[in-house]
Amino acid sequence: MPNCTVSFLDPEGIRHSVEVEANSLYEAAVLAIKVFTDHDCEPGASAKLEVTIPNPITHEVTPKQLKDWLKRTAKSPRDLVEKEKLKELLGMKETGDN
């Protein structure tokens, strides 16, 4: 698994960053949100999560976009397994109420 750096700016303009091992943009975002939440600095729903992989390539996704993607129907068995794993990490219920 490649290491990814995920960061965001909080409302006061402070950048929070964490390094995670992930196989996809969404997995990196979910793992980072979990770490940020565990350390009492969870990004707001519209915060832009900047995900940088070693190449370096940077992507941005909001927690809302991430949760919307998780709620969409999986396109393959592999996609279904990944989404279920990531939903569990975020503590999302099957109904998608979170």
Residues 53-88: tens digit of each pLDDT? 877 778 899 999 999 999 999 999 999 999 999 999
Q: Give the pLDDT confidence score for residue 63 in this predicted structure.
A: 92
Identify whether 65 is part of a domain.
yes
Identify whether 96 is part of a domain.
no
DSSP class of residue 29 equals H
Identify whether 98 is part of a domain.
no
Residue 47 has pLDDT above 50, yes or no: yes
The C-alpha angle with vertex 13 and arms to 23 and 56, in degrees rounded to 5, equals 30
Identify whether 95 is part of a domain.
no
Q: Give the pLDDT confidence score for residue 98 in this predicted structure.
A: 45
Identify whether 97 is part of a domain.
no
Per the structure, the count of domains in the chain is 1
Q: Where are the alpha helices (DSSP H) in 39-76?
A: 63-71
Rounded Cα distance, 91 and 85, in Å: 10
Regarding pTM above 0.75, the answer is: no
State which residues form the domain around 30.
3-90
Identify whether 43 is part of a domain.
yes
DSSP class of residue 91 equals T
Identify whether the C-beta of residue 41 lies closer than 8 Å to the C-beta of residue 47. Answer: no
Count the residues in the chain: 98
